[in-house]
Structure 1
Amino acid sequence: MVAVFNKDLLSWYLITLKLNETVGAGVPDGQNPATSGASTSRSIEFTEPQPPPQQQLQEEKHQPSDSLQVVIKDETARVEEGPKSPESDWVISIRQKLDHAYQDDSANTWSKLCIYRIPQYLREGNDKCFLPQIVSLGPYHHNKRRLRNMDPHKWRAVSHILQRTNHDIKLYLDAVKELEERARACYEGQICLSSDEFVEMMVLDGCFILELFRGVAEGFSQLGYSRSDPIFSMRGSMHSIQRDMIMLENQIPLFVLDRLFGIQVGQPDLKGIVSKLALRFFDPLTPTDEPLSKSDRHKLEISMGHTSAFDPLADFGGVHCLDVFRRSLLRSGPQPTPKVWVKKWSNSHRVADKRRQQLIHCVTELREAGINFKKRKTDRFWDVKFKDGVLKIPRLLIHDGTMSLFLNLIAFEQCHLDSTNYITSYVIFMDNLINSPEDVSILHHYGIIEHWLGSDAEVADLFNRLCQEVVFDISDSYLSPLSGQVNRYCDHRWNTWRATLCHKYFNNPWAVISVVAAVVLLVLTFAQTFYGVYGYYRPPS
């Protein structure tokens, strides 16, 4: 508490207080100019002088008689609420969100979306299959610290292109600048990059992709790279780079790559060549390497009723490299039927968990029910056939990148509205067939599964993890009719009895000899008994 007994001092104090109020008038309610916490006010009390204590009487005589006592108290102030505005900040923020949602619907941005973030239900436990380990492409993993080591090599790729073509970098920047809005609409969510940063990233990543594509197709030495180049050469890191570049979150829109490649060759509107280069680049990731002779391929084309060749030049439907690769896997397959917003759902068709995604029994159970297995000669790993108790399955090659490939293909089919679900259907079908290492061993025995993993148990675990969180409608599977035929065949008991007889008594030559001997012995015993009884009742005359 401070007491002021001098008029001049009081005048100066009042002037200072007035200035303080003038400065504080511009500060928002509830905030202190010095601190943003609770404000502190000073209350001023004007009181008449109180009778002083006895020991201060001498001093009091010298004080002016007309002085006033000013008492200042420091205490925590309660912020007074000012007059309320017509609408609170909360309501205003809600209106802004509604306006933003209306603009999204009006712009129809969802129709352009094609590069998605992996849903959390698919990502759990499989992060490594969706996160790039060496190179980042696009905005989702841009500028991640662990992926920055590839940036100098990206700039080297741009430098090589400019030196070969004698172009200025501004030509590429301006071309991608025209496509910026369209490219941003391909990505899910808000991209927190400025216009210049986004265009720079598209040019840098796009040129890097094109150099890799052309290097694999034409030879890196032809493009001016050293034979010992750590990135632009057919070295051990190429497989890891291919696996990163096929991930859904690591994609660049195909029309951006087409424009960048068109500028290099002098035809800015050129389309299709990049798709063809992409297929050659990602060919090692194909989950089958079944070699077909010319006669087998010709027979296959006749049976399919059309050519088996996939021509990316004639198909402009691909939206990015993962989509192009998926279309090549499904070439000459069932005609795609785009998804629709509204479907006829019923309790019998709707699938909410893994237990109701059972299309078919496992391999062991099918063998016990009389189903035989055979490898089908085709390079289409999804083309499964069933006839006369024989299930024909194409050869499937499994390596360390198979799980990442299938998971990203499944994620794209789950997210993209205009995509079919054939890869998902096939993987769920195989997941149903394989429940144990014994199932894998049987399929490996027939040449249907070839793997480079450590054991059959790892293969079984791979398929069981692939569809762990996938929600799928079995009525939409192209393999549902085939599965129904197999299940009906298994329901006949005669087929089961016959299979049991073959598996238990005719599974090896020694068992066959034993069964034949037992049957002969049984027949002879029956004949001996018959003639003994016959001779007893009808003795010879």
Structure 2
Amino acid sequence: MVAVFNKELLSWYLITLKLRETVESGLPGTKSQELPEQQQQLLLHKQQQAPADSLQIVIKGDEEKFKEVEEIPKSPESEKSPEYEWVISIREKLELARQDDAAGSWGKLSIYEIPHYLREGDDKAYVPQIVSLGPYHHGKRRLRQMDSHKWRSLHRVLKRTNQDIKVYLDSMKDLEEKARGCYEGTIYLSSNEFVEMMVLDGCFVLELFQGVAVGFKQLGYPRNDPVFAMRGSMHSIQRDILMLENQLPLFVLDRLLGLQRGDPEQKGQVAKLALIFFDPLMPTDEPLTKIDRNRLESSLGQRQTQTFDPLSDLGGLHCLDVFRRSLLRSGPKPEPRIWIKKSSHRTRVADKRRQQLIHCVTELKAAGVKFRKRKTDRFWDIKFENGTLKIPRLLIHDGTKSLFLNLIAFEQCHLDCGNDITTYVIFLDNLINSPEDVGYLHYCGIIEHWLGSDAAVADLFNRMCQEVVFDINDSYLSRLSEDVNRYYNHKWNTWCASLKHRYFNNPWAVISLLAAVVLLLLTFAQSFYAVYAYYRPNS
């Protein structure tokens, strides 16, 4: 593609238009008269005699990217014009685009900025309130109060391990390029600032992890420490560390913990510590069992990771990814099944009408579907058998909203992970349309919440997935939803449910129905014998 710009011709043309506009407008300091004929001819002559070596940009490229930008020599006057500066800026942008394509770092991304369409209305759920980790919220004024405690933790680590800070800085220097590639966009921190941030934030997180696992007292912190103690702020810190924009790469934490323990290449220990640290945030009232916790704690001092490590062969990316994998770690899940028309495969849509997996609780009850609590710690493992929908218990607290929103955002941004959490939340969103639906699920023991009212829970789920992009065909609950909808659409089930609701909803209704049936049978018997005696009097 070739673009040719005649600089002097364009300049003289603009001058002519400006002079004509000035004369016609009669501005002060000018004479309202036509240009002299001689001057007009001079302008026209110079336009026609514009030099042939005007600015030319020749861009050579193939189908994928621009390879070379060449420039034909220009006159000195054209180099000073705004038009030339504009072309130069375009060339610089093209060069940056070429460098981005050559870098090929998109596949390394794992820590994303929340898309604006998800952030609207729920900004607090994605923004840390106490502590910042990583570059996205680094240096924000309201989060600087925690910086002094980060430096205390680093000092405590160096004192406990009897190591020099240069060991950590040099090790992080080796990982700097790899760590930068995990973050989306340009990180405007110098090399020294970025390395310092990784060491400081990483050691702070590891002190929290180890303190919860083995006790802060054993790490040398006093009982009344404002941060490194099991105090009220710990829950808020745990919630901040699970935000998508507030993550550190897991390999950075592995390296820092390995340096503390004398084995920089060890892996898997941070994931185990994270499972214990985030256990209180599990969205189920069936927390980590005592046996599982003992196995985790007993394996923390071992270098081998084959003892109870559900993440050993998965390779977590960061703490949020580790937490998500731990939620989905146990047992096989149903395979997705294509049960929508093939025409719906054309695109992934966010239309609320296209996210309808299942009817709400009230409608399913009217069709005879029964609800039961399923005893399992796998909160996502929902079953449907013989008209009964079995759902594990879900515990909802003030941190549930932020937890689910960040898990959904990660599944929306990261192409290499599934959409199991998104599917589960949308499934509950379909089930819950009103406070009455929440109340019935609470009555069945399926939902336990601390939000104050059933209406708050219904509003929580109805707002959580408003802007989520979701493909209904790519869902582990698609087969189950098909079975439930088939049961719902069967008229006989609806008639039986209506009969049961009308005549068997309480003991008095049952007694009344039985009395009516007995009375009907007696009446029938009396009528039968009367007719029989009429026709067979002798017998």
TM-score range, shorter-chain basis? 0.7 to 0.9
In structure 1, the partner of 2:417 is 419
Aligned partner (choices 206, 212, 216) of residue 216 of structure 1: 212
CA distance, structure 1, for counterparts of residue 418 and residue 342 of structure 2:
18
Work out which of the residue numbers 312, 315, 326 in structure 2 matches 1:314.
312
3-state DSSP of counterpart to 1:346: helix
1:182-221 aligned at under 5 Å gives the runs 182-221=178-217
Distance in 2, Cα, partners of 1:233 & 1:503: 54
Deviation for aligned residue 1:372: 0.9
1:440 is displaced (CA, Å) by 1.0
Q: Which residue of 1 aligns with 2:251?
A: 255
- The CA deviation string for residues 472-522 of structure 1, in whole angstroms up to 9 with x for no partner, is 110000000000001111111111111111122111111110110111112
**Residues of 2 paired with 1:416 and 1:142: CA distance?**
23
Q: Taking structure 2 as the reference length, what is the TM-score of the superposition?
A: 0.78
- Look up the match of 2:53: none
Q: Deviations over 1:194-249 (max 9, x none)?
A: 11111111111001000000100111011110100000000010000000000000
Name 2:343's counterpart in structure 1.
Answer: 346
Deviations 1:165-185 (A, max 9, x none): 111111111111111111111
* Distance of 1:345 and 1:513 partners within structure 2: 52
User: What is the match of residue 266 of structure 2?
Assistant: 270
Tell me whether 1:111 sits opposite 2:107 in the alignment.
Answer: yes
Q: Does structure 2 conserve the Cα–Cα contact (< 8 Å) formed by 1:290 and 1:378?
A: yes
2:310 and 2:272 map into 1 onto residues whose CA distance is 6
1:187 offset after TM fit, Å?
A: 0.5
Q: Which residue in the other structure is 2:277 paired with?
A: 281
Name 1:495's counterpart in structure 2: 493
Q: Sort the Cα spacing of 1:292 and 1:501 in 2 relative to 1 into closer, same or farther, 3 A.
A: farther
Q: CA deviation at 1:82?
A: 7.9
RMSD: 2.5
How many angstroms apart in 2 are the aligned matches of 1:540 and 1:313?
A: 89
1:347 is displaced (CA, Å) by 3.6
1:315/1:126 Cα in 2 relative to 1: closer, same or farther (>3 Å)?
same
1:84 to 61, 78, 83: 78
SS in 2 for 1:392: strand
Q: Please state how far the C-alpha of 1:316 moved relative to its aligned partner.
A: 4.9
Q: Residue 366 of structure 1 corresponds to which residue in structure 2?
A: 364
Q: Which residue of 1 aligns with 2:232?
A: 236
Displacement, 1:530?
3.8
The equivalent of 2:471 in structure 1 is: 473
* Whole-angstrom distance in 2 between the partners of 1:512 and 1:152: 70
1:449 aligns with 2:447: yes
Count of residues in correspondence between the two structures: 444
Q: 1:249 to 1:345 in 2, by over 3 A?
A: farther
Check the 8 A contact 1:133/1:147 in 2, yes or no.
yes
CA distance in 2, matches of 1:95, 1:474: 44
- The one-letter code of the counterpart of 2:257 is F
Q: CA deviation at 1:348?
A: 5.9
> Contact between 1:262 and 1:269, CA under 8 Å: does it hold in 2?
yes
What is the aligned-residue identity percentage?
74
Query: What SS class does the counterpart of residue 450 from structure 1 fall into?
Result: strand
Specify the alignment match of 2:299 in structure 1: none
Partner of 1:65: none
SS of match in other structure, 1:373: strand
Post-superposition shift, 1:161?
0.5
Look up the equivalent residue of 2:343 and give its one-letter code: S
Shift in Å at residue 539 of structure 1? 5.4
Alignment match, 1:15: none
Matched, 1:176 2:176: no
Offset at residue 526 of structure 1 (A): 2.9
Residues 379 and 394 in structure 2, CA contact (< 8 A), matched pair in contact too: yes
What one-letter code is carried by the residue in structure 1 that aligns with 2:117? Y
* Aligned counterpart, 1:436: 434
CA 1:239–1:352 in structure 2 vs 1: closer, same or farther (change >3 Å)? closer
Distance, in Å, in 2 between the alignment partners of 1:388 and 1:190 is 55
Deviation by residue 1:298-327 (Cα, 9 ceiling, x = unmatched): xxxxxxxxxxx9615623510100001100
2:353 is matched with which residue? 355
Q: CA–CA distance in 2 between the matches of 1:364 and 1:142?
A: 47
2:382 maps to 1:388: no
AA at the equivalent of 1:118: I
Instruction: Name the CA shift for 1:348/1:160 in 2 (closer, same or farther; >3 Å).
Output: closer
Larger radius of gyration: 1
Q: Secondary structure at the match of 1:183?
A: helix
**TM-score between the two structures when normalised by the length of structure 1:** 0.78
Taking the aligned partners of 1:521 and 1:294, their CA distance within structure 2 comes to 60
Equivalent residues of 1:490, 1:496 under 8 A apart = yes
1:137 paired to 2:133: yes
The counterpart of 2:221, out of the listed 211, 218, 225, is 225
CA contact (8 A) 1:376 1:392 kept: yes
Q: Does the 8 A contact of 2:280 with 2:287 survive in 1?
A: no
Shift of the alpha carbon at 1:537? Answer: 5.8
Q: How much has 1:144 moved relative to structure 2?
A: 0.5
Deviation at 1:83, TM superposition (A): 2.4
2:333/2:381 contact within 8 Å kept: no
Q: Is the 8 A contact 1:134 1:147 kept in 2?
A: yes
Q: Secondary structure at the match of 2:513?
A: helix
> Match of 1:525?
523
* Structure 2 CA distance for partners of 1:378 and 1:336, relative to 1, 3 Å: closer
Distance of 1:481 and 1:315 partners within structure 2:
28
User: Is the partner of 1:137 in helix, strand or coil?
Assistant: coil
Q: Deviations over 1:133-170 (max 9, x none)?
A: 10000000001111111000000000000111111111
TM-superposed deviation, 1:91:
2.1
The residue type paired with residue 108 of structure 1 is G
Q: Secondary structure at the match of 2:416?
A: coil
8 Å CA contact retained: 1:113, 1:187: yes
CA distance in 1, matches of 2:390, 2:335: 25
Q: Quick one: distance in 1 between partners of 2:110 and 2:446? A: 34
Is the 2:255–2:266 contact (alpha carbons within 8 Å) kept by the matching residues of 1? Answer: yes
Contact 2:335–2:476, Cα closer than 8 Å, also in 1: no
Could you tell me which runs of 5 or more consecutive residues in structure 1 were left unpaired when the two chains were aligned: 1-42, 44-80, 296-308, 339-343
Say whether the 8 Å CA contact 1:272–1:316 is kept in structure 2: no
The alpha-carbon distance between structure 1 residues 294 and 136, as it changes in their structure 2 partners (threshold 3 A), is closer
Match of 2:23 in 1: none
Whether the 8 Å contact between 2:310 and 2:329 is mirrored in structure 1 is no
* Secondary structure of residue in 2 paired with 1:391: strand
